[in-house]
Amino acid sequence: MKKLPIRVLQRTLCPYSRRLRAYVSEKQLELEFVTFDPDEHQDELARMNPHHEVPTALLPDGSPLYDSLLIMEYLEDAHPEPRLMPKDAVARARTRMLYDVAGMLGPALPGFVRAPKDHPERLRRAAELAAETCHALPLLDDVSDYALGAEFGFADLSLPPLLLRALEAGLPADSLPTRVRRWVTAAAGRPSLGELFPEALAALS
């Protein structure tokens, strides 16, 4: 495990924070993760991140780096081994498109998580999540249950952390397309993700 002098502000249940934590684990890196409530420290966070969101990383020189995907890409460039981003240009493009699909889940996920059980808003958001997830299907291959190829990679941290957050909040596993459910189950079988989403892992079994 390689320790880096990088401080990361995070929320414990935030799927984007957990995405980054899983990535760091897969890369065998050690960063300092600090639990941070954006609601209580809006002014401080605004100086570092115009989106007022976590995770936000502080590099050794004090400069901020925000958005889980951008932080991961920075770490992938700075510490290329073990490689998680594919070398092949087409696979890299498909990986980025999967992160784009993951971005489509963003509006529906908080509404689903926060709405009371059986509330019409919760049911509507659950349907939105299932529908948006279908956009990933043309991008997934059939080599294995992972997204691209036989090995776990960068693409496997796109939708799975968000869907695992939805599952632990009560989204029925059978509402997901079969291929996506297989993918999320395979990704959650990695200790890096499974240990962060134990309730979701139980819901998938």
Would you put residue 176 in left (φ > 0), alpha (ψ -120 to 50) or beta?
A: beta
- Give the whole-angstrom CA distance, residue 77 versus residue 41: 31
Q: What is the CA radius of gyration of the chain?
A: 17
Catalytic pick from 6, 8, 14, 159? Answer: 14
- The DSSP secondary-structure symbol of 119 reads -
Retrieve residue 112's tokens.
């689903």
In the annotation, is 134 catalytic? no
- Give the whole-angstrom CA distance, residue 201 versus residue 65: 30
Residue 105 host element (H or E): helix 89-105
Catalytic residues: 14
